[in-house]
Structure formats: structure tokens, C-alpha cells
Structure 1
Amino acid sequence: MTGDAVVRLAGGVTTYTGALTGEGTFTVGGTGTLGMAKNSDFALPANRRRQKVVTTGGNHPVSRIENPDPPAVVVQRGATLQYGTGSGGDGVLSHITKAPELALNTLNHQVDGTLDLALRERVNLGVLSGSGLVKQRRGTWPGIDLPGTHPFSGTLYVGTGADYGSLHYLTSMPNVRKVVNQGSFIHNAPDGEVVSNAADLYSQFYGNDINFHTWGSGVVRMSGVYSWSDNGSDTDPALSDPSRNFATVPHRDNKRGINIEGATVTWGDGTHNRFFLPGNENTAYINMHAERNGTRSVLTFDYNGPVTLDAPISGGRFHDTMAEVGRGDVVVAARRGNAVTFTAPQNYDGDTTIGEGASLRLGDGTPQGDSSLLRTGKIVDNGELVLQNAAKGVELGRISGRGAVTQAGPATTTLTGDLTYTGRTTVKAGTLAVTGGTLAASSAVDLPAAGTVLDLTKAGDQAVNNLSGAQGSTVTAGSVLTVHTTTATTFAGTTTAATATGPETLTLTGTVEGALTNTGTVSADGLTVRGAYTQQPGARLSTTRMTVTGAVTLAGTFTPDPARGPGVLIDNQGTEQVSGTFDGLPEGAAVGGLRLTYRGGDGNDVALADAVASTGSDATTPEAARSSSSGLLWWFSAAGVLVLLIVLVLLARRRSRKRA
């Protein structure tokens, strides 16, 4: 070759058994197929060469292609260029330059037609451009290298294997929208680099996977969708119905596999919520492995809306995924709206991290969608952990972070210990049981619906902060329950014996099944205490009416309701008198326009009574009794004076008769 060569095909298949040498470009046009049976080595003319290969990284070299040359091999629309015969390793057009750990083809390819790779040899196509089809046949290992940034906007068909990035080069194909993967599509990233693939990937038949490798702090990011294709073509694969990614089909043709080999991988780029792997345990598998040097896998989900993982993350070999435990960690990236739901039991042994603004939901609320995590790893919750199993309970422990925990499903969730998370604890449905550790670090506990239960009976002494709850909710404790209030809250449900502490008001309108000790601030509005009520010095109480079945011991302060009229405040249903008084409020003390008594009602109730006269048994006070006694004394005095006057008159008359 001494310049630009053009082969114009007229249909059919033409096989060229010679070799191209010299300098120039090679273009295939027309219709039909040109097959190359031998390797060719020619160069782009010197006056068109401009690209450079730049290598950085020292002991871990990474090579980049800068200012790529124009294409030297062009396949025009309608034409097919075939490399190899399908059985050997020859048939490539190339001119190789060496870089560390990389043999780079300097003959860049523009494919607007079809490039058919039918040879059993590693192939490097330089920088790809065009909008056609690059198709690798099945059984043609070791596969394709794709170093560089490729303007190619067509379809890549991986029939056997392709390397998208490596430890020594970067790959970027930002314009490729669809890839057919019928082999092993291997993704890799060097230390400190992010290799991104935004294409949608499609499988057509059983026996395909995507494998991930990274070095050091390298990351591979996948922001497309890995789907089955049951129609369309090699250049435009498609799926007739998204539900078929989850259906059982003949020959398991829709099975897709993921193998993470001690790599750091991200699914999603934070700009959408198209989940990378739609499938379940029957149609997809995810294996997380550790490298021999101990490097573990990390899988991050980074979406801006709700997504669902319906398959387990495990660690077996290929399709036998549940044979081994997965070796790695899972991260839900810190992004507002990043809401990930697991609907299958997970089988990885590492940590689960939920970033700020994100959430992880275990279970989707249906019996078929229950999930769980192995207890070997920690949960670092800086967002929200939602527990929504419907049929099978789940046990979790070692939860830390700044995030919230929400029980939202009918199946019981059991927290087994080491609970240091500081966010809110909410029981929206079902039962949240704590059998170890304490909720003392959680900023608040809320039971907003009737029928919800917080079960602390097996956890010993417990402390909760800022308790709130709806009527019909229940908190049960096996020992001492301390409720500390730093923000005013209302609890209308039922709790076992409790001690109230804190500077803000805890309003209780339900039932305490046991003793209530007030060392903080309590507002009782219709509260029933089935036990003793003890108010410690320094504590505060405001109440419209509360009922106590045990002993009543008072100290601290009482804050009256300005709108409250005469009546019982504490209905002491026990037989003993009230012990103690509120600070500054002795028996008969004025409270507004009323008087406070500790012997009201049936004789041992705390009540407010009218200051002048009795208003009935519910408001009888010593003041009223004193008023009644004073009236009787006046009448007795008046009667005595009258009798004395009568006696004096009678004596005067007797003396008058004697004189007469």
C-alpha cells in the first residue's frame, strides 16, 4: 500500500488470503463480506499521525491515548469486514506499538457497517468510531481489548470476552447505548481512576456474565441496565416486556450473572433510578469474592429514586451462587432519594452502609418479598433503615450511625444488641423487639399507629428518648423503663412501669401498667396508672385528671390548667391518704380562684374545690367545712344571748310582783 485503498464489494463473501503492508488507509464499501485470512501490518501515512501514548503511574503504569489519529480502517454502511475464519488466530489489520503491559493497535477503526471478529486471538482495534456493529463471535477467546476513549456510537456485541479497562489502561465509550453480552464482559479500573459504562447491556441466551476487577482505589461505575433481550436484532436488542427479566423461561435464557472479584463497583450515577440488574434468584446472580491478598468487594447503589434488588448477593461460583457466603460490603450512597429495597435474603458477610439522605428497606411488605442480612457485618446507618418484612421476622445487631430505624412491616424485627445509632426509632407497624443493647442513643421513639409494639421485655433496664405514640400502641419493658424528654411529646398508648425524666413535657394520655415515677415534667390528661405514682422533688406535673390505683406520693411542683374548674385531679383509688404535697401548696392552698385539697373526692383524692362553698362530694374541702362550723357557732351564740335576755325579763317581772 502506498496510499488510500478502497474495496468495493458487490455482494456475497470474498476471502482475501494475502496481507497488506506499506502505508495508507483501508476502506471496505458496497455490500457483502470481505474476509481477511492472514494478519496484515501497515501504517497510517506519517503526515497523518498525531496521537501519543502517555504512560503514568510508576510501579503501576497506566497508559492513555492522546489526540488520536484519524481512522486507518473504515467499514462503510452496508459492508462487512471479517477478521479471521473462525478457527485460527490470524486475519487482523494492525500496526502495534508497545506500552507497559499493553500492545496498542495504532490503526484506529471506523465502523459504520459491520466488523465481524472471527479469530481466536486477543484483538485490539485502536480507537473505535462510527455507528455500526462490532461483533465478536462465540468461542473466540481471549477476546477484545478496548483501551482509550472511543467516539463509537454503534453496538458492541461481546460473543466471548471483552476487557473494558484494565489495571494499565482506561476505557470510555460514552456514546455507546447498547451492548450485547453473550460472553464475559470484564470491567477493570486502575488505582485512583473511575471507569464508567453508561450503556444498556443485553443478554440473548444462557451463559453470560459481567466481571469486575479494580486495583487500589479504582472504581467501576455502571449506569445502564443489564437486561435480557427476547426480540430486536444484534444491532438493536430489546425486551418485549420488562417482567420477562423475572420470569422463568425455557433453557434459562434470561439468566444473567455478576462476579465482583475483590473490586469496588458502583451501580447508578445518581441521575436516575433505572436499576442495573432487574431479576430475581431464578434469573440473576451476584457473587462477591475477596482477592487472595484479602481485598474484599464493595458494591455501591447510587440512584436518585426508588430501586429494588430482587436477587441475593452471595459468594458462590457462577450460577451456584448460594454455595458460599459473599465476601464484601454494600453501600447505599449518600444521595437524597436514593431508596433501595432488598426483597431477597442477603448472603454477604460484610458491612452495610446507608448514606445520609438515602434509605435501605428490607422487605417490600409482601410475604414473597421478605429480606434479611447476615449478622456477621455491621450496619452503619446515616440515612434510614426500614424493616418491612411481612411473613418472616429478621434479627439485626450492631447498628451505628446518625440515621433512623423504622419498623414498617407486620413481621417482628429483633434488635440483638450493640445499638448506637442516634436517629429516630419509629414503629409504624408490627413489633420491634430489643433483646440486647439499648435504645438510649436513639434521639426519639415513636409508635404512630394503633397495634404497634415496642417490646423491651428481654433487654433489662432500658432508656428511651422523647417517647411518642398513638392510642392503641404499646411499650413493654421487663425491668426499669426510663423515658427522657428533651422535646415535648405525647404518648397515648400503654406502657409498663416507667420513670419520666428530662426538661421538656411528656404528655401521657393512655395507661401505665405499673408504677410511674416522675423526676421530670409530666402532663397527665386522662392517664391511668395501674400502680403507684411518685413525684420526686424538682419534678413537675400538670393534669386535668389522672387515675392511680396504688400509693400517691407527691413533691415538686404542680402547674394548674387556668381553664380547670373544681374537681378531682388525682383519683387515688387506693385506700391510703396522699403522702406529701406539692411545693408551696399545703392543704387548702389557693390555686387561682380555687382551693387545693389532698383529701378531696372520697377522702384521699387530690382535688380543686370552690373557695366558698362545697360543690358536692367531688369538691368537699376543709374550707367549706370551716365555713359550715362558723355558721353553727354563730347560731349557738345567738341562741345563748336570747335565753339570757328571757331569763333577765322573767326575773324583772318577779321582782315587780313582790313590790306590789
Structure 2
Amino acid sequence: MRTRRGGCRISVVVTVLVLVTLVSPGAFAQAGGRDVTGDILANRDVTLSGDAVVRLTGGVTTYTGVIGGEGVFTVGGTGTLVLVKNSDFTLPADRRRQKIVTVGGNHPVTTIENPDPPAVIVQRGATLQYGSGSGGDGVLGHFVQAPGVSLNTLNHRVDGTLDLAVHRAVSLGVISGAGLVKQRRGTWPGIELPGTHPFSGTLYVGTGADYGSVNYLTAMPNVRKVVNQGSFIHNAPDAEVVTDAADIYSQYYGNDINFHTWGSGVVRMSGVYSWSDNGSDTDPALSEPARNFATVPHRDNKRGINIEGATVTWGDGTNNRFFLPGNENTVYINLHAERNGTRSVLTFDYNGPVTLDAPISGGRYHDTMADVGRGDVVIAATRGNAVTFTAPQNYDGDTTIGDGASLRLGDGSPQGDSSLLPTGKIVDNGELIVQNAGQGARLARIGGKGAVTQAGPATTILTGELTYTGRTTVKAGTLAVTGGSLAASAAVDLPAAGTKLDLTRSDDPTVNNLSGAEGSTVAAGRALTVRATTATTFGGTLNATGEVTKTGAETLTLTGKHTTPDSAWTVGEGTLALAGSVQARQLAVAPAGTLRSTGTVQAAVDNAGTVEATGLTVRGAYTQRPGARLTGTRLTVTGAVQLAGTFAPSSAQGPGVLIDNQGTEPVRGTFEGLPEGAGITYHGGDGNDVVLTGGSGPVRSDTATPHGASVSRSGALWWVGVAAAALVLLTAVVFLVRRRARAGK
């Protein structure tokens, strides 16, 4: 029996040791420690010699003593303990392990490594209040000085409420727990938050909080929500990224988030900054998302952003929960420049569509439109990052659109128009879409490898240096180019009827790889050049007062009607396939060009290259130059016909009218190698048509001979002789075979 009891005693001891090993020092202290409730109630000073706990029993207890010694101080029970004097104690030596590390030389940055366990614990249901709010600023702390910051080495665990009613900067060491840390309104300067905090509760910023600085880093990856009733100030040291992923709520008018960074530091916000019209301090909420956009009494839902020469990112590329839902009535965004000239940069980084309904400007606080914003805006190169602006923007810097991203100006509604100031450049490596319904936009200096799309009924004007190399698309309304050129744009497409590309005031009216639907229009002034490096079809209308030139080695097919009576058209290179009609002063085909047509040219045609006519009608004269070529089945001409060069019939070509000369003048000239009577007559039909007769010799295509060569009449007769000799030889062979067969029989 003694042995069994002894075994039981050993088992109990082992169990206790295991529990001591598994439970954190803070949790162990919550379960026990010296009870100092009586000392606290009696306002006696307390000297810790290990862990101590005060057990509140409701109401408010104001403590005028001080706490010293070594240990952990725990506030438990229910009610509020108010400290009006500063206390200084430390953890026992065997629990101290954290290191304060400062690096950076002239720009020192301090971090806390391997943090100590909590020295101040506020249990669930209890409230610890620092300061009376009216003068007494009692704080529990043991401070060490680092460059630019005084660090509290007493780390805090808050599962209940820590109420900060002090009028000086407060450091709480490393914060853990899941309760509420609340800094009251009107208690400047606020909380300093150096270190990485495991705290997963709610942070209430009543007046101010410093989330990072030029001298230290802050991270609170587990914070659920922040209530911001004052200025939530974010900062990042040089070469560091400070991230705040919390959802932030405001409850009354007059709060903002301010950003400061040093050097290449970046602050990244990946939560949502929203109004809260219900819930509690520990669990703020918004009853309806639309209330972020509605004006409410006293403008209680007005909140703002001040970027003070800082580099800031909204979103982390993993979702599309937009950081600042609101419009010009409920939010403001100010981009400022530092005195040393450092300008602000605001980046949007989402993986889906988001909308900014407020202007980015540069005034002071709520008077945001009093000055322009001093900074740049970036749409990050994250696939699916689709940002829409629905208000006119008022910042003076550049706008950059990353590869795979898009920026849309306007949402297609009359109240959702947007624009950019012409003072900055647009670096477009993704897609810029303009979708204004009422007020047109004027955009200057667009570069990059991205695309530009006109998608709204209001006219968009592009001006200045246009060097972007992506596609230009006019889906709706009019896109006008004034004082610039689309010559660098890889392709131009007008996919809908009623769309228009206006190049009448363009410096260089050149478009590449033009395509479009019936009912679309391309209008140019003195000249229009269409370059085809890929085969395209344009079913709309080309208008120009000057020359229209087709260049590029590939085929441009025109199916519409083009009325340009004062213009001279030139097919400089490649193929112009005309299925519709062209009215012009003249149409010239250069030596490297080809006109392939089943349509109508209401102009004189001057062919120095190739004309492929399969039902082509020329309402004017047709002149074919030496070295030029005509191929096809039928050409109708109403004016004078002057021939030179060659003719190449199609494989199915037979006798019949080749050129129906409806003019009164006889045909002048002949095709090279095809004189009158060589299977062709230039006086056929009504006396002045060009007709293939198939008479005294075949008409051959010049494609069987070197370019520019022809087949002579004597050469044709020689081929007839060869054919006759072959027929005689074949007859003799047949005769011999039959004779031998009879002999064998």
C-alpha cells in the first residue's frame, strides 16, 4: 500500500511539473500569485517579489500608490483599476530574455528580438486604466532609451480592457492578448507601438497612435479591428515595408490616417477603412456598405487620408477589398510633398476590380480641393488588378499602369465621369480605359507597351507625346488625337457602329493594322496613312481631305464606302483589298503595291504595281505603267484606258471581255508580249474593249516566266509543233503494239 501511494504521489508531482512546463508564465500568474488587493484598496505601495494579482469586485478603484520590485502584475475580476502615478518594476531576472537591437548607423532602426513574457496582465472582464484623464498619468513601465524612442520593457497582455487616459507618449512594450487597448480622445500625443505584437483584439485610437516610425518597426498581424477616432499615423524606415492588415473603423467626424516614410520605406494597408454606425468599441460594425457613400448628419462618416511625401500601397495583391470606400462627400485623399521635395506615391494592388469614388487631391484635411496633389499614382502589375476612378482626379504627377492591370476612367454613368490632370505622364503597360458618359477627358503624354480603349459616349482627346505601343480600341463614342500621333500604337480597332477615330488635328495621322465594323469612321485632315503589318478588315468609312496611303506588307481589306473626292489614294506596299467603294481624286498603285478588288473606284487608277481585278469597276481612267501587272477576270473602266506591262490570267480564264471599256476613246497601248491577235484583241466588243479571243495562240500568264518577260507568238507556234510530233510518235507506238499482238494470236 505504501508503494502504491508513493507511486501516486510521484504521478501527481510529474503532472504538476508538466503543467508548469506547458502553461506560459503569464497564464500561471493569472491562476495565482500573491494577492495584493488589500494593498491596492488601501493605496499602499506594493513591492513585487514574484507574481501578484489584484482582484477587482466591480466599480472604479483609484490607486494612488506605486508598484516596484520584480515580478508580474495581474489585474483580474471585474471593475476598473485607475493608476494615477507612474510605477517602475521589472521581470524577475530568470524571465528576461529579449534583446533590443539597433542597426542602421546614421539612420538607426530598433527592433525587439525574442520578447519577454508579459509583465502586465489584464484579464478578461477587468479594466486597467492608465491616468485619470485630467492630470494624473500613471503608467506601469520600465523604460530603456533607443534612438528616437523610449521602449517599455514591461510587455502587456490585454484580454480585458487597457484604457489609456494619459497625456504623454505611451509605450506598452510588446502587446499580446485578445481584448481592447483604448487610447482616449483628447490625450495627445498618443501610443507608440514599436515591435511585433501578437495582440489579436481591438485597438482604439482616440487621439493618435504611431504605427512605426523612422526609428522603429511596427507589426500587428493579428489585430482584428482598429477604431480610429483621431490620427492613426503610419511610418516606415528606409528600405523597410510596414504592413497593416487590420480593418479600420471611424465613428465620428474628424479622424484620419496619416502616412510618413523615409527613403525607400513603404507602408502597405490591406484592410478596409470604413465608417461604423453600430457595434461596440471592441466590435465596431457597419450596418450597410452603402452608408459609406451617403451623407449623414454632422458628417459623422467623413474620414480622410494624408500622405506626407510617403510611399503607400493599398492592397497586397491577394484580394479586392478596397481600402477606402466612399466618395467626395465622405472621404478625402491628400498627396503632399515634403519640404525637401520628396513627393508622395500611392499604389493600388488588388487582384480584382475595385473603385475609387473620390478625388485624389492635395489640400489640407477636409478642404482637399484647395490645392493639387503632389505625387504619383501606380496601378500595380498584379494580374486582374482593375481599378476604376469615378471622380475627376486632382494630382499633378504620373500615373503608371502595370502589366496585367487596368485603369478605367469613368464607370459609364453621368455622375461617374473621371479625368487626369495633363501635368503628369501616363505610363501604360496594361490597359487604360476611358468610359465617361457626359464630360470628356483630355489625356496627355501616354507611353508604355499597353493598350488604350475608348469605351464611353463622351469624347476623349489624346494629346502630346503618344508613344504607347499597345492596341487602340474605340468601343464607343469618339477618340480624338490632337497634336499627337497613334503611329506607335500596334493596332487600331473600331468594333462597333457609330464609333469614330478623329485624326483631323493629329500631327502624324498614321494608324497601324486598322480594323473596324460597318458604321465606324476614321477621319483625317491633310493625310491618312494606314500601315498593315498583319491582315485586317475595316468595314467602316475612311475620310480625309488629303492623301490616303496604304503601307505595310500585309493586306488591308476595306468593305465600306469611302468618300474622299479631294484625296489621292496610294497603295504604297502590300495589298489593298477593296470590297466596297472609294471615291477619290486618284488611286495610284505603287510598284510594291497590289490593288485587289471586286468593288468600285470612283477615280482614275494609275497602276505601277499589280491590280487583281475580279469585277473591279473604275469610274475614271485606267493607266497601266511599264513593269506593272493586271490579273483577274474582268475590269470595267469608264474613262480612257492606257496599257503597258503584263497581263496574267487566272487558271480558269477563258475567252471573253477582260476590260470593258465604257469610254469613247480606243484603248491605247498593249500588254507586253501580247500584240493584237495573239489570243487577244484591243478592239473587241463595241470596238474598244480588251477581249481574250483564244484565237491564233494562247494567252499565257507571266507568272510562268521571269518577272517582266513575255511569251512571243513564235514561241507559241514552237510549242504547237512539239505537241504535233508527240502525237505522231504516240500513234506509231500504238500501231506496233497492236501488230505484235495479232502476230502472237
TM-score, scaled relative to structure 2: 0.80
SS at match of 1:322: helix
The one-letter amino acid of 2:210's match is D
- Tell me if the contact between 1:245 and 1:279 (Cα under 8 Å) persists in the aligned partners: yes
Instruction: Tell me whether 1:533 sits opposite 2:602 in the alignment.
Output: no
Q: What's 1:593 paired with? A: 652
* Offset at residue 35 of structure 1 (A): 0.7
Aligned to 2:601: 548
1:142 and 2:142 correspond: no
Which structure 2 residues correspond to residues 493-512 of structure 1 after superposition, within 5 A?
493-497=540-544, 498-512=548-562
The residue correspondences of 1:468-617 to structure 2 (distance < 5 A) are 468-497=515-544, 498-514=548-564, 515-531=568-584, 532-543=586-597, 545-559=598-612, 569-574=615-620, 576-580=621-625, 582-583=628-629, 590-594=649-653, 599-600=659-660, 602-603=662-663
Equivalent position SS for 2:591: coil
1:365 aligned partner: 412
Counterpart secondary structure, 1:251:
helix
Q: Any idea what the Cα deviations from partners look like across 1:122-173, whole Å, max 9, x if unmatched?
A: 1100000000000111100010000000000000000000000000000000
Shift in CA distance, 604/218, structure 1 to aligned 2, threshold 3 Å: farther
- Find the counterpart in structure 2 of residue 353 from structure 1: 400
1:42 match:
89
Q: Structure 1's 415 and 598: CA in aligned 2 closer, same or farther, altered over 3 A? A: farther
Report the Cα distance in structure 1 between the residues aligned to 2:220 and 2:131, rounded to whole angstroms.
25
Shift of residue 578 of structure 1? Answer: 3.7
For the residues of structure 2 that align with 1:623 and 1:494, how far apart are their CA atoms? 36
Counting only pairs closer than 5 Å after superposition, residues 151-230 of structure 1 correspond to structure 2 as 151-230=198-277
Query: Structure 1 residues 58 and 167 mapped into 2: Cα distance closer, same or farther (>3 Å)?
Result: same
2:630 and 2:646 in contact (8 A); partners too: no
- Contact 1:491–1:509, Cα closer than 8 Å, also in 2: yes
Relative distance call for 1:592 and 1:601 in structure 2 (3 A) is: farther
Query: Is the 1:572–1:604 contact (alpha carbons within 8 Å) kept by the matching residues of 2?
Result: no
2:232 partner amino acid: F
Inter-partner Cα distance in structure 2 for 1:95 and 1:623: 110
- Which residue of structure 2 lines up, in the alignment, with residue 260 of structure 1? 307
Deviation at 1:451, TM superposition (A): 0.6
- Return the letter of the residue paired with 2:554: E
CA distance 1:468–1:153, shift in 2 (3 Å) = same
Letter in 1 for 2:105: G
Identity percentage of aligned residues: 72
Change (3 A) 1:555 1:246: same
Which residue number in structure 2 is paired with residue 644 of structure 1? none
CA distance in 2, matches of 1:382, 1:85: 57
Structure with larger RCO (C-alpha < 8 A, sep 6+): 1
Distance 2:197 2:652 in 1: 88
Q: How does 1:228-239 map to 2 (within 5 A)?
A: 228-239=275-286
**What is the TM-score of this pair, normalised by structure 1?**
0.90
**Per-residue deviation, residues 447-500 of structure 1 (Å, max 9, x unmatched):** 111111000001244111111111111000001111111111111110024211
Contact map agreement 1:461 1:478 (CA 8 A) in 2:
no
Distance 2:359 2:630 in 1: 66
Q: 1:361 to 1:604 in 2, by over 3 A?
A: farther
Shift of 1:239: 0.3
1:626 deviates by 7.7
Is it true that 1:399 corresponds to 2:446 in the alignment?
yes
More divergent stretch after superposition (545-554 vs 27-36): 545-554
- 8 Å contact 2:630–2:647 — kept in the other structure? no
Distance in 1, matches of 2:425 and 2:74, equals: 59
Deviation at 1:541? 2.7
- 8 Å CA contact 2:361–2:393 kept in 1: the answer is yes
Check whether the contact 2:680–2:691 (CA below 8 A) recurs between aligned residues. Answer: no
Name the SS for the 1:368 alignment partner: helix
C-alpha root-mean-square deviation of aligned residues, in Å?
2.2
Deviation at 1:559, TM superposition (A): 4.8
1:573-615 deviations in whole A, cap 9, x for unaligned?
22x3444474276577533232696741625999xxxx89999
Inter-partner Cα distance in structure 2 for 1:398 and 1:604: 56
Q: CA deviation at 1:319?
A: 0.3
What is the alpha-carbon distance in structure 2 between the residues aligned to residue 99 and residue 266 of structure 1? 29
Unaligned runs of 5+ in 2: 1-47, 632-644, 668-678, 697-745
Tell me, what secondary structure is at the counterpart of 1:537?
Answer: strand
Deviations 1:211-268 (A, max 9, x none): 0000000000000000000011111100000000000100101001100000000000
Identify if the C-alpha distance between structure 1 residues 588 and 600 changes in structure 2 by more than 3 Å, giving closer, same or farther: farther
Determine the structure 2 residue equivalent to 1:464: 511
Go from structure 1 to structure 2 and tell me whether the alpha carbon gap of 1:502 and 1:597 turns closer, same or farther (over 3 Å shift).
Answer: farther
Partners of 2:464 and 2:514 in 1: how far apart? 20
Structural mapping, 1:52-451, within 5 Å: 52-451=99-498
Residues 1:4 and 2:58 are matched in the alignment: no
Check 1:600–1:230 CA distance in 2 against 1; reply closer, same or farther (3 A cut): same
- Asked if the contact 2:680–2:690 (Cα under 8 Å) also holds between the matched residues in 1, the reply is no
Query: 1:525: how far off?
Result: 4.3
Q: Which one-letter code corresponds to 2:619 in the other structure?
A: Q
Q: Distance in 2 between matches of 1:410 and 1:299?
A: 29
Amino acid at match of 2:550: A
What aligned pairs does 1:633-648 form with structure 2 within 5 A after superposition?
A: none
Contact 1:554 1:578 in 2 (8 A): yes
User: 2:432·2:453 contact (CA, 8 Å) conserved in 1?
Assistant: yes
